[in-house]
Structure 1
Amino acid sequence: MDDRQLVVDFLNTLDVEETTDVLAEAAGWRRWAAERDLRADPLPAARAARDALRAAVGDPDARTGPLRAPVHIELSHGRPALVPASAVGAVLAAAARLAVLGEWDRVKICPADDCRWAFYDQSRNRSRTWCSMRVCGNREKARNWRQRAGSHG
């Protein structure tokens, strides 16, 4: 799994629209980590990491805080690599690699209050706002149009 997908998948363990949370119970978190061949950290560490990362990419409902995860560096095939000891470490290592590559600002949270889905902005100029223009963007544009039309009548 590539870094972008791992980070976005982790951020989307919270689904505002469906009102589901993979991190609501330890079993869900362990299953999520196991599906990615990762070792699950204690649940409070996973929740704290997700909240801090969601806050860092623009979720106004998320709380930020200091994060720590065991990661070491190995020299493999003549190249240094971040090697995480756990699922949270893997996500943080992926986020760090995205930051080093100048791609961290492409990880965004949909601003729709009933969505808040995380996505990776692949637009050339990094200007994408909505997780889906067809769904959230269209809905917001229609809402704004109705408000403007109503104020003119």
Structure 2
Amino acid sequence: MSLVLDFLNTRDVEAGTDVLRGERDWEAWAAARGLTADPLPEAVRAREALRAATGDREADGDTAPAVHISVRASPSVDGVVFEAYTAVAAVYAAAARLTALGEWGRVKICPADDCRWAFHDRSRNRSRTWCSMRVCGNRQKARAFRQRSTPSTTHMEQSCG
């Protein structure tokens, strides 16, 4: 799960950073995880496709790159293992595992326009909306409360009328 989330969060809207903005940052990200960096445009397309697959309304999922992943039987893990040789392939393999385990639906994107962070919904009924109730959820609740608490001009005119 963490590799997929780390990859989806290579762009941080709040901080204004994007690991996939330059080759060096992307190569460093991949190397820090013991992976070989794919060409940068492929990585960008993969991130967009995976974000679109989570339901991110702002992502472009039409340009998903194809990757090569080997699958082999392994008695030591009681099943099969994916072998990926590049960073994007490793992320796709991790996403495939999540899908096979029925966990892909728990990968979500925070709806806050100033956040857009990918997170793992650990709630029992898979209903979590915000990446963090303490930050984004609280901010949205406060905004909604202010909107409900502020009398509209039309209502004020009718009352004073």
SS in 2 for 1:151: coil
Structure of higher CA gyration radius: 2
- Corresponding letter in the other structure for 1:150: T
- 1:128 deviates by 0.6
Aligned to 2:43: 46
Structure 1 residue 21 corresponds to structure 2 residue 18 = yes
Aligned residues: CA RMSD: 1.2
Q: Which runs of 5+ in 1 are unaligned?
A: none
- 1:151 deviates by 3.4
The percentage of aligned residue pairs carrying the same residue is 59
Q: More deviation in 66-75 or 95-104? A: 66-75
CA distance in 1, matches of 2:68, 2:151: 55
- 1:67 deviates by 3.0
CA distance in 2, matches of 1:50, 1:151: 43
Q: Map of 1:1-153 to 2, 5 A cutoff?
A: 4-65=1-62, 66-77=64-75, 79-151=79-151
CA distance in 2, matches of 1:122, 1:40: 30
- Corresponding letter in the other structure for 2:12: D
- Corresponding letter in the other structure for 1:22: V
TM-score (norm 2): 0.89
TM-score (norm 1): 0.93
User: Would you say how many aligned residue pairs link Structure 1 and Structure 2?
Assistant: 150
Which deviations, in whole Å up to 9, do the C-alpha atoms of 1:67-113 show, x marking residues without a partner? 31110112233632111121000000100110111000000000000
Runs of 4+ in 1 over 4 A off after TM superposition: none
- 1:35 deviates by 0.5
SS in 1 for 2:72: strand
- Corresponding letter in the other structure for 2:116: R
CA distance in 1, matches of 2:46, 2:151: 43
Q: More deviation in 15-24 or 66-75? A: 66-75
